[in-house]
Chains A and B, each alone.
Chain A
Amino acid sequence: MSDAAALPVREPLILGDKSLAEVTGDICRPLDARPTALWWAGFLASLALLGLGVAAVSYQIAVGIGVWGLNRTVGWAFDITNFVFWIGIGHAGTLISAILFLFRQRWRTSVNRAAEAMTLFAVMCAGLFPVIHMGRPWLAFWMFPYPNTRGSLWINFRSPLVWDFFAISTYFTISLVFWYVGLLPDLATVRDRTRRGFRRRILEWLSLGWNGSYRTWLRYEIVYVLLAGLATPLVVSVHTIVSWDFATSVIPGWHATIFPPYFVAGAIFSGMAMVLTLMLVARSTMGLQHYITGRHVDVMCKLVIFTSGIVAFAYATEFFMALYSANQYEQFVFRNRALGPFAWAYWTMVGCNVLVPQLLWFRRVRANLGLVFVLSLAVNVGMWFERFVIIVTSLHRDYLPSSWAGYAPTSIEVATLAGSFGLFFTCFLLFCRFVPVIAMAEIKSVVGTPARPGKDL
């Protein structure tokens, strides 16, 4: 950009021209202060949900999968729906921290920390379901390739579930490391602010003896870039592989080549929505208005509407392919999706994922944070239903009409879903309490500087 100077200077990323000390103070305040009543309320509520989920899952493992509403025709429903849903949520984090980092999208600095934390917790929730959905979860370790007394009996490397297993564990590991490395300077900051004591001991241990020396920073930057590079392909690969669970099957409505891009876009879509949801809450409750500004919301809204477009296109393509392939099973499945017993779910999905986001075309809507919050919630709901629709409506009426069946969730399944939210929010609230929710070290690099894409450091 030769004529960079000619460009109008945009308003800064961080408002209320903060000094570096103020930044540290603002962000570390919740760590020092006693938790507010609001935090306690949220925390206890989440804990209650978590307890409910634990009870439901223990009951299910003790009694049998039969306590779910599944049947001989519909073998997956809430379990895998929740799994894909959470995996999807888990995508925004890495996207923001890795891809946007590589693209030098500097607005990311305000949200990447929280987004990455969200990713970790979401993947934890997701990882739960493949295990508990097994008929004999105590044998889940059979998914590992390990030496055994069964001769050459190995695992089935042709099975997408095995691919899933590797993809998700990899993704979790990388995300964790990435998040932790990004956390190092801030941990050091908090360490230095903390008086000697148990907490300081922990922080010393965690911050790996960080001394803000030039060498440390250099190493840090290199590692961070490398990890970003490593994480980037995972953003695409994980959900691609998850989509293969369905794409490689023979069931009409699952067996579609469009699934990988479709799922990845959907994942980013839902992830962004969830980031919005959390950020808007954190912003108002933790007084971070100056760090998470309208611009951040605006940018994320644009991402949401973009991915919404991709998802909508995928929906349309599925129908077109069904029509164009002249495959009667495909055609029936999609007609059944839109008009069959689960039409309500389908239209909820379309409404939340395609129609509602269209409002974000308007600047005034994007500026109205309350409205954006509601929209983001709608998108989350819609994306959950997308997975539900894909899984259940494809299964419940497939090839042989004699085996067609219905599906209705039991109380246990609902409780399990609620429990996964409980786990997620419990973790997230603890995160808000004990870790700087915004990457101080990075934000300091943009304090006062006009954000311009491509502007070198």
Chain B
Amino acid sequence: MSRRYWKSIEERDGGEDWLPADRDEFPEPLAVLPDAPGTLGRRGFLKAAGFGLAGTLAAGCQRGPVSKAIPFLNQPEEVMPGRATWYATTCGACSAACGLLVKNRDGRPIKLEGNPQHPLSRGGLCAVGQASLLGLYDRWRHRGPLKRGQPASWADVDADIVSALAAIRHRGGALRLLTGTIVSPTLSATIGRFMATFPNARHVVYDAISSSAILDAHERTHGRRALPRYHFGQAAVIAGVDADFLGTWISPVEFTRGYRDGRSLEGNPPRCSYHAQFESGLTITGTKADWRTRIAPGEEGPVLTQLAARVARRAGLAWPAGDVGMPPVPGAPLDDLAGRLWAARGASLVVSGCQDVAVQVICNFVNHLLGNYGRTIDINRPSYQRGGCDAALGELAAELAAGAVDGLLVAAANPAYDLPADLDFATLARRVDLLVSFAGSPDETAALAGYVCPDHHYLEAWSDAEPAAGCASITQPVLAPIGGTRAIVESLARWMDDARPAYELVRAHWESALFPRRIPVEPFETFWDTAVHDGAVELQVAPRESAASGTSAPLPDPVAAGAAPPEGALSLVLYPSVGQLDGRHAHNPWLQELPDPITKVTWDNCASLSPDAAASLGVREGDVVRIETGGPSPAAAALELPVYIQPGQHDRAVAIPLGYGRASTERFTRAGPHWLESQPGVGPNGLVGINAAPLIVFEGGTLRYGGRAVRIAPTGRRIELATTQRHHSIIEPRQVSSAGSRPIVREMPVSALSAQQPPPGATREGRGLWPDDHPYSGRRWGLIIDLNACTGCSACVVACQVENNIPVVGRDEVRRQREMHWLRIDRYFTDADESVDVVHQPMLCQHCANAPCETVCPVLATVHSADGLNQQVYNRCVGTRYCANNCPYKVRRFNWFTYARADAVENLVLNPDVTVRTRGVMEKCSLCAQRLLEARISARARGEPARDTDVRTACEQSCPAGAIVLGDLNDPASRVAALAKDPRYFQVLEDLNVRPGVGYLAVVRNRDADPGKAGHV
């Protein structure tokens, strides 16, 4: 037996199973640490992450925000959501009173268009008219009457005014009503009634841009103080002396249309009037002239005298007795002009904007010798578009100075702003006890007035107009007044205890006064409905004998050249700019951003000098100069304006646009985007531009805009003008020579038209090595622009801006060359001599068949349509700007910022049919694709084939000269197809073979063939 060894007592005693069962084999526990309570360990974290991820994925697919649709409770008959309604009315933007068609969409007007049935404007509408729509949605308009600057109730204000008027009436005090020209017969009648209730009341009418001298002259020569109607369409020879009748003079739209009729070259033989223009500054009228001559301000008299003398000689009339001194212009061409005028007796026209009555008398004398009265000049059916009498204004100023005026009402005028410093209206008006202003929006005069009884915007009011005798039109409201304003007629009537609303007043007046003059006898209802529907009606004019026989009128005295300005002095030319006129629309950003047709300056006014004058003064463009008027008047001490170098201006002239420096432009301080380096939107004076009106001279009973002697001294400061067309591109001769030979614009003498060369349009299509990308089996849209008809008036630019929701970018952005206009007007000086030729070229997307932009866009945001449009898809654009770089015409516009759309009221003007583009997106002319589509759809809905005559682009519709034609190039019957075969037809940069869908017709100057001028320039 083996002996047992043990190593411990426990082992010996315990036997084999000495290890207790409850003791586990490994005494020390495994170190597996549980997660500390409350903390989330790795596993926990992963778990949470997993669940979380799954959860978010599941919940991830959310919907967009819920959008609601709120229908009418009772839908009016004529209102159809999404459909536009059109109303005929009359434009109230200036005293020309053109016809309007207002596009109303979902109860608000969004676009103004010319009324084709209107006998004066005949479908055209100027830039100012187009833009005046925005004034309706102007947040800064008066919302109600003011009493000493504080808002008050109409009842309160009416009570005060009525009692004050009663007092005046009772003690026979002097009441004066100062207004601009009133074209509304109803308002005139009401004013007459109102004035008649006072023993000593007078209605003084003046125009900030006055034509008073013309009326005064006709009072002398024809015994009737009236502004004749000029029929440019019937004139074969036109001589303009300082009259910008295509731009701003009296009734530009009407005149432009007539002028274009006189130069329509489609006919065979082509009809092309001869136009000679004498002017100091450069106006768009001058740019269209066949013979333009620079004259110094104040030389209108001598020039007309010279012309009259030459015409008189041909008429066999010994006038003037004796010599009238050397002509300020070369005699030979003046002889030639006189010859042409004489040859076209009865079909010629001499107009002058000169404010010297003596000069106007000579002008009438010439026209009389030429037998134009009764033919191109209608004195029997006069125009009422300018009724101002400056002499009466002078008397009023005298009365005010003498403190002889107890009550002064101011309507449709802003005398505190636009009258010369000599009259010093602002100080005088403060002496009047009762000063009432009817200004619809805050202006310098309303600021002085004790009471402001704001008038409606003209789109809110019932009114009427008779711009020319025998042509009456209705102004009907297109939406309920936005604020608590009240029409002037209503106010005046109310103060005569006549509580009738404007509608009844107008209707009553038409029934009593206008209806009897209606030629076809019809019930008044019909007459009224016709008037409201068509917008305008023809009326009979009471024939009145006028001393039209000038022979009975005494021969006028010749006007010799005035005293030359002192040595080193220049003489001033104050002119209304096409966009601003007299400044009544200065609050309108569309017009502020509209480039001036001549200077291309926006958001500022400047002092234009001829290159020679600038050189002699040693100033460059943008230098701020101090313009000091000599003379006694202390008020008009000096202006400080940036210089603009203007080729084609007279070397002795310094031209300054009026209408700037309005107090209401303060609002533009923060116009445009704000960022690190952005500049304020206004000038150093906190306003847009400087008011030059104080420099107007009141002399000889008329307001004189030209001829004042001024001295100019550089201040050393500089301002970078916000011009849309860089000037150096024309000044640097090297550039011109290279740019000059480019096939951009084309000119030809009228003689070249008769020569039948093969139309270049014939061979144009179907060239090239490769088959066309775009067959255009159906329609191909094309646009043809007649450069000969285009006057550069820029109506199309604003029309495009309104139609296509193009943003206003502000002065600083324009200065950075980022204006957004889809349609711009390029202006080329085609001659280097001192009187330049100018060509205006509307430039827009050319809708090329081989469009360079389309190939380079990485995301197919710009592609070609089957009917020839170059389409830009905003929502697809990522904004590489490659297309804009690759565009030879540089017509593409990029949204550099989110342009301000903050003004909720102003946004009401947006066109709901056009996308409002966001930041970072390219945009450009779509050829009004929304209109093309609308026309196609409505035609299809009518079950007719869509004709290209159904649709007109915004620019085409607005053009007063009818220079733009849209149509189907594939339709041989269409007008564009015919024009594309015209010998004048050409395409810009044709040699690039981008094959534009937009073509142009060459400019034609009525000159003898001159190789220097013909061909490309």
Contact = CB atoms under 8 A, between A and B. Distances in A.
Interface of A: 59, 63-67, 69-73, 75-76, 133-137, 139-140, 142-143, 153-156, 158-162, 165, 245, 248-251, 328-329, 331-332, 335, 339, 395, 397-406, 410-412
B880 A161 contact: yes
B878 A404 contact: no
Given A134-B879, A401-B735, A410-B676, 11 more contacts: A64-B895, A65-B879, A65-B896, A66-B897, A136-B879, A142-B858, A158-B856, A248-B855, A395-B885, A402-B729, A410-B677
Contacts of B895: 64, 135
Given A65-B896, A71-B818, A72-B818, A142 B888 contact: no
B819 interface: yes
Q: Which of B816, B824, B895 has the most CB of A within 10 A?
A: B816
A222 B989 CA distance: 57
A159 B890 contact: no
Nearest to A403: B890
A234 to B, nearest CB: 21
Contact of A156 (B826, B860, B877, B890): B860
Q: What are the 4 tightest A-B residue pairs by CB atom distance, in nearest-first order?
A: A135-B879, A135-B920, A66-B896, A75-B881
A250 B886 contact: yes
B163 interface: no
Nearest to B860: A156
A263 B580 CA distance: 52
Interface stretch (B208-216, B604-612, B739-747): B739-747
B852 interface: yes
B780 interface: no
Contact of B673 (A66, A139, A160, A161): A66
A8 B810 CA distance: 75
B853 to A, nearest CB: 10
A399 B989 contact: yes
B725 A402 contact: yes
B897 A72 contact: no
Contacts of A71: 816-818
Contact of A136 (B896, B897, B921): B921
A134 B878 contact: yes
A411 B676 contact: yes
Nearest to B890: A403
Contacts of A411: 676-677
Nearest to A161: B858
B570 interface: no
A156 B894 contact: no
A137 B886 CA distance: 21
Contacts of B860: 153-156
Q: Which of B741, B744, B886 has the most CB of A within 10 A?
A: B886
B931 interface: no
Given A65-B896, A159-B882, A402-B725, A136 B920 contact: yes
B738 interface: yes
B852 A402 contact: no
Nearest to A158: B855
Given A72-B884, A335-B738, A402 B828 contact: yes
Nearest to A402: B826
B856 A160 contact: yes
Contact of A133 (B675, B817, B880, B890): B880
30 contacts: A63-B675, A64-B920, A70-B881, A72-B818, A72-B884, A72-B892, A72-B893, A75-B881, A135-B879, A135-B880, A135-B881, A135-B919, A136-B877, A136-B879, A136-B921, A153-B860, A250-B992, A251-B886, A251-B888, A329-B742, A339-B734, A397-B729, A400-B826, A400-B989, A402-B729, A402-B826, A402-B827, A403-B890, A406-B817, A410-B677
Contacts of A153: 860, 876
Contacts of B182: none
A326 to B, nearest CB: 12
Nearest to B918: A136
B879 A72 contact: no
B46 interface: no
Interface of B: 673, 675-677, 725-726, 729-730, 734-735, 738-739, 741-742, 744, 813, 816-819, 824, 826-828, 841, 843, 852, 855-860, 876-882, 884-886, 888-890, 892-898, 918-922, 988-989, 992, 994
Contacts of B884: 72, 75
A136 B818 CA distance: 18
Given A66-B896, A328-B742, A249 B886 contact: yes
B676 A59 contact: yes
A406 B919 CA distance: 23
A332 B741 CA distance: 11
Contacts of A331: 738
A156 B878 contact: no
B992 to A, nearest CB: 6
Given A73-B890, A135-B895, A165 B858 contact: yes
B897 A398 contact: no
A73 to B, nearest CB: 6
B742 A399 contact: yes
A71 to B, nearest CB: 4
B817 A76 contact: no
Nearest to B725: A402
A156 B857 contact: yes
Nearest to B739: A401
Contacts of A142: 858-859, 876, 878
Contacts of B741: 328
A419 to B, nearest CB: 16
Contacts of A410: 676-677
A401 B1017 CA distance: 12
A135 B878 contact: yes
A136 B735 CA distance: 36
Q: Which of B859, B892, B988 has the most CB of A within 10 A?
A: B859
A274 B898 CA distance: 40
A332 B738 contact: yes
B885 A75 contact: yes
Contacts of B739: 332, 401
Q: Which of B726, B876, B877, B921 has the most CB of A within 10 A?
A: B726
A126 to B, nearest CB: 16
A438 B78 CA distance: 83
Nearest to B921: A135
A249 B880 CA distance: 14
Contacts of B816: 69, 71
Nearest to A407: B817
B875 to A, nearest CB: 10
B351 to A, nearest CB: 31
B878 A139 contact: yes
Contacts of B920: 64-65, 134-136
A134 B880 contact: yes
B877 A135 contact: yes
A274 to B, nearest CB: 27
A248 B882 CA distance: 12
B897 A64 contact: yes
A76 B886 CA distance: 11
Nearest to B732: A340
A415 B817 CA distance: 23
Nearest to A68: B896
A64 B677 contact: no
A406 B729 CA distance: 11
Contacts of B856: 158-161, 248-249
B239 to A, nearest CB: 31
Contacts of A397: 729, 735
A416 B889 CA distance: 30
Contacts of B841: 402
Contacts of A156: 855, 857-860
A143 B894 contact: no
Contacts of B890: 72-73, 398-400, 403
Contacts of A248: 855-856
Nearest to A56: B676
B859 A328 contact: no
A405 B881 contact: no
B1 to A, nearest CB: 59
